[in-house]
Chains A and B, each alone.
Chain A
Amino acid sequence: MTSKPPCVQVRNLYKSFTRGSERIDVLQNLTLEVPEGEFLALMGPSGSGKTTLLNLIAGLDQPTEGSIIVGDQEISQMSESELARWRTRHVGFVFQFYYLLPVLTAYENVELPLLLLPMTKEQRRKQVLTALDLVGLSNRLSHRPGQLSGGQQQRVGIARAIVTDPTLIVADEPTGDLDSKSADEILKLLETLRAQLNKTIIMVTHDPKAAERAQRVLHLEKGRLVLDTDNRLAAVSSSWS
């Protein structure tokens, strides 16, 4: 089951912050691997370090110590500008509060990351339409975020995350601001992305129901990995019992 090559490799990861004279160790000696095409959920109480881990894997922050390899690239040594360029091609980010640009239409929001890549207008258009079609919003191209429901905005957010065809999709509480129906649709969409497009997805969630949709769940507490549950094995064992 884990014979696939790892998409993400985290080795002996430490992350600490200083607040005044106080040093806060958010992540301590964390090691993990996420195989390509896996849907992984990160769970844990507030302050356990799951969002920090997600940010580090997505190249939004630098570790204090340790290494992070995504695909075949060591990202923990990259500069801020190198990370920015790397993120454009390799990471799609889904936010809890969508964070679409209110002055742009759905089409323009999804197109935004593509502006950073050397593509023609036609190539961009094709990819934007494909992404919006995948999330079921090809009829909302010229709507601005204010004209869309929460679930629709999150789907635009997902389209924006996948439009560059990234290696990795990271999602921070993607269903946290949605009603249960919309949340279910979003989770289904993420599952589809994994199943049909073989995307590696890492999702932070507080919601156990959302975590159940992932193939594997990692529990963090005080910056350490305390539990690694494989939902696929659990499903098999429950079917046996």
Chain B
Amino acid sequence: MFLIDLSILFGISISTLTILCIVLGIVLMPPFYLILLALEKTLLVAQWAGFSVIRFILLVFRSLQRNLLRTALSYMAIYVLVSVVVMIWSVLSFLDGITTEKQEDFKVLITEKFQIPSQMPPSYEQRLLSIIDELPPEYRMKNGEMDVMTWAFVGGTLDPTKQTFENSIFFFCMQPKKFPTMMSGLEEFTPEEMAELNRLIDLMEKDKKKVVIGTGRLEKLQKKVGDRFKMVSLNYKDLEFEFEIVGTFPKGSRYDESAVMHRDYLYDTLRDYEKRTGMPHPMANKCLNLIWVRLPSKEAYSALAAKANESGSFSTPAVKVETESSGVGSFLDAYRDLINGMRYMVVPAILATMALVIANAISITVRERRTEMAVLKVLGFTPGMIMMLVLGEALLIGVLAGGMASSVMCVLTQAQGGVKFPIAFFPAFKVPYEAISWGIAIGAATALAGSLLPALSARRVKVSEVFSRVA
């Protein structure tokens, strides 16, 4: 319920991204021409070194100035499409990265086998620890129980009469003291931020009602540190929690929209419910959503998984034991078709569109300049040289537009500290610096592919036919 549908997210993201890229492309058109001009001026200076080849390159630059509108449209098409491809590839490589197995320091996930989200009994934690105790010492956790963490997800609203996104909050319900060692992404925190986090955790350990909330979420709730508030739970029916905000997660971190509460407070509230009503809460035996265990090696993980399957302790409900990466992979399984569609259909379609746009623009250019090509041949340019001139024009636009598109995407996401997935445990996603070279390569490759046929046609221009037609 709290997991935003990835497919909708991707759909919205691509549409928004395309619009953003078009706007960026238009905004960056003057710099594109300025770079072209600067490069041309540099070549003009360099030509005095006497290299004939610089004159050829200069001819390519000058040719792009013949029809500024056509050059601008080709640039825009490449810019927008390279931006979208780079973003999609970055997302896909990011997903590949988080679903790739680590070789050591394994984080193992124990979840319900047949239901998402899992609803396991809290007793599963103790059963798991018992099983781990039976493993050989080298397969056990290095830091004992500090390497085991349970999760429950508690969502609610501050105003049950008028629930909105702004007045809703979603808590990770856990043992605060394990937060610094078990949670990912804390390496992004500065020493000062880590010190503050440890102070807040101490406070939470002393008072179960104290919570830490991300800065972004706090702003939406219109609350501040020190405020107390009541939350009516939405997934734990008839439960009400009273919290005191003791601090925030740093702005811009992956926990900007997250909130953390003490799991004992949930257990206490469930017990209070039973005392009050005389019967256990319907969720009392289903309040363990996830268990994380950090194991020293892949072999340890295999041994634990085998033990868990054999023991019979985890039959109602059945559980699965998997690595963090395969857990994420399992979560993404539902979107496998979507991801494959992106990888194998959308990206190739975009690349083909790019090549066609370039082919169209360059074909028109070649048709318009057949006489000029013929003149160059008369002057002694070989068919290969004519072909290189045409390819050079496409290549120049492709490299420049592709490089600009990927650089801007990279710089923007890096400067923003990454784009956050609205899925809590996914880290912020950034377009990596190596994407700049992808952009240049994509721009160059598609420009070459698109201009190949027009260039061959230019190569085959027959001088006598061109001039007999003119005459």
Q: Please report A residues at the B interface, Cβ cutoff 8 Å.
A: 51-52, 55, 58, 60-61, 80-81, 84-85, 87-89, 93, 95-97, 99, 101-104, 108, 111-113, 115-116, 119-122, 160, 172-173
Contacts and interface: CB of A to CB of B under 8 A. Distances in A.
A103 B62 contact: yes
A116 B66 contact: no
A51 B467 contact: yes
Contacts of B49: 121
Contacts of B376: 112
Nearest to A97: B470
A81 B383 contact: yes
B383 A51 contact: no
B464 A52 contact: yes
A108 B63 CA distance: 13
B56 interface: yes
A87 B382 CA distance: 10
Nearest to B47: A121
Given A60-B463, A103-B66, A111-B55, A95 B375 contact: yes
Contacts of A89: 380
A99 B371 contact: yes
Given A95-B375, A95-B467, 18 more contacts: A52-B468, A58-B378, A60-B378, A61-B464, A84-B381, A84-B382, A84-B383, A88-B379, A99-B372, A99-B375, A101-B59, A103-B59, A104-B59, A113-B379, A115-B52, A115-B55, A115-B56, A116-B380
A51 B380 contact: no
B383 A80 contact: yes
Nearest to A102: B66
A61 B62 contact: no
B343 interface: no
Nearest to A99: B375
Contacts of B50: 120-122
B380 A84 contact: yes
A143 B378 CA distance: 23
B383 A87 contact: no
A116 B378 contact: no
B54 to A, nearest CB: 10
A173 B468 CA distance: 13
Interface centre among B59, B372, B380 (most CB of A within 10 A): B380
B380 A85 contact: yes
26 contacts: A51-B467, A52-B468, A55-B464, A58-B378, A60-B463, A61-B463, A81-B382, A84-B381, A84-B382, A84-B383, A93-B378, A95-B375, A99-B371, A101-B62, A101-B375, A103-B59, A103-B62, A103-B63, A103-B65, A104-B59, A108-B55, A111-B55, A116-B379, A121-B49, A160-B379, A172-B467
Contacts of B47: 121
Contacts of B372: 99, 101
A87 B379 contact: yes
Interface of B: 47-50, 52, 55-56, 59, 62-63, 65-66, 371-372, 375-384, 462-464, 467-468, 470-471
Contacts of A104: 59, 62
Given A81-B384, A121-B49, A51 B471 contact: yes
A173 B467 CA distance: 12
A228 to B, nearest CB: 24
Among A60, A81, A85, A97: residue with most chain B CB under 10 A = A60
B380 A88 contact: yes
Nearest to A84: B382
B227 to A, nearest CB: 68
A51 B50 CA distance: 37
Contacts of A51: 467-468, 471
Contacts of A101: 59, 62, 372, 375
Contacts of B380: 84-85, 87-89, 113, 116
A8 to B, nearest CB: 17
A120 B381 CA distance: 19
Contacts of A172: 467, 471
A34 to B, nearest CB: 19
A89 B48 CA distance: 23
A99 B462 CA distance: 16
Given A103-B65, A103-B66, A116 B467 contact: no
B470 A112 contact: no
Nearest to B50: A121
Contact of B379 (A81, A102, A112): A112
Q: Which of B50, B65, B375 is most buried by chain A, counting CB atoms within 10 A of its CB?
A: B375
Contact of A96 (B55, B464, B471): B471
A40 B110 CA distance: 96
Contacts of B468: 51-52
Closest 4 CB pairs of A and B: A88-B380, A121-B50, A103-B62, A61-B464
The CB with the most chain A CB atoms within 10 A, among B65, B379, B381, is that of B379
B48 A121 contact: yes
Contacts of A85: 380, 382
Nearest to B384: A81
B105 to A, nearest CB: 61
A119 B376 CA distance: 19
Nearest to B52: A115
A104 B65 CA distance: 11
Nearest to B377: A84
Instruction: Tell me which of B47, B49, B382, B384 has the highest count of chain A C-beta atoms within 10 A of its own C-beta.
Output: B382
Given A103-B65, A104-B62, A111-B55, A55 B379 contact: no
Nearest to A82: B382
B409 to A, nearest CB: 33
A80 B52 CA distance: 22
Contacts of A102: 66
Nearest to B376: A112
